[in-house]
Amino acid sequence: METRRYSPLDHLIMNLDQAVRTLAGKPLVTERGNPADDWEEAELTAEEKTRSARLMRVNHAGEVAAQALYQGQALTARLDEVRERMERAAEEESDHLEWCARRVDELGSHVSYLNPVWYLGSFVIGATAGAIGDKWSLGFVAETEKQVIEHLENHLKRLPENDRKSRAILEQMKIDEAHHGAMAKAAGGAELPGPVKRLMKLMSKVMTGTAYWL
């Protein structure tokens, strides 16, 4: 059976659909279960619930940005293989999006009010990286995932010790992000210049700091 080849317009429409699903809280997820389902809800103090909710809100905002980043890169990727890798990574990131959103709701809070801003900004960055060239786009993914893992490790230290449900989600996210980063490197991702890495860290700090409160 011949594989259907999508036109640029097809990809644009699919990107719009993905954006609406992401921001409306209805992402297309894979067949994987939520790792938090393996744990009973622990008793948390009001302060612990607030802290967990804020941290998971930040992680949800990060997944909104990741969706946009991958979709933007897939839209402008030059090689079909690179585009397919980006789209598969976006599917797995959708799992993270749903898991974090559900956990934030369970903790009695809300996702970031600025999610549309995070999505738009990240989509532009991803599309720009993809347009520059596939090796730089893949290098951007590898560096992004490296920084995300550092961020997740920091959150695992800050979560209340007995919040096993949130902890299980972040642990699985770490595994997935490491896989995406390794995939991007193996596919030919280039090492980004130091100034670009520092700029990425600064932008991430602004987003996470704002999403913690909003």
Dump pLDDT digits (tens) for 19-64.
666 666 666 667 788 999 999 999 999 999 999 999 999 999 998 8
Residue 62 is assigned to a structural domain of this protein: yes
Q: How confident is the model at residue 7 (pLDDT cuts 50, 70, 90)?
A: low
Question: What is the arithmetic mean of pLDDT over 185-192?
Answer: 84
Supply the pTM of this predicted model.
0.85
Query: Is the distance from CB of 208 to CB of 54 less than 8 angstroms?
Result: no
Residue 11 is assigned to a structural domain of this protein: no
Q: What is the pLDDT of residues 102-138, one digit of tens each?
A: 999 999 999 999 999 998 888 888 888 878 888 888 8
Mean pLDDT of the chain: 84
Question: Which residue is associated with the tokens 């956990």?
Answer: 103
Give residue 112's pLDDT: 94
Query: Is the distance from CB of 17 to CB of 75 less than 8 angstroms?
Result: no
Q: How confident is the model at residue 14 (pLDDT cuts 50, 70, 90)?
A: low
Residue 34 is assigned to a structural domain of this protein: no
Residue 13 is assigned to a structural domain of this protein: no
Residue 173 is assigned to a structural domain of this protein: yes
Residue 83 is assigned to a structural domain of this protein: yes
Residue 28 is assigned to a structural domain of this protein: no
Distance CA 8, CA 74 (A): 11
Q: Tell which wins on pLDDT, 83 or 154.
A: 154
Q: Which range scores top for mean pLDDT: 42-51, 85-94, 194-203? A: 42-51
Q: Looking at this protein, which amino acid is placed at residue 179? A: H
How many domains does the chain fold into? 1
Give residue 181's pLDDT: 86
> Residue 97 pLDDT more than 70?
yes
What percentage of the chain reaches a pLDDT higher than 70?
A: 81
Question: What is the arithmetic mean of pLDDT over 90-106?
Answer: 87
Residue 56: CATH number of its domain: 1.20.1260.10
Question: What is the arithmetic mean of pLDDT over 154-178?
Answer: 95
Domain extent at residue 130: 45-213
Residue 158 is assigned to a structural domain of this protein: yes
Question: What is the arithmetic mean of pLDDT over 181-203?
Answer: 85
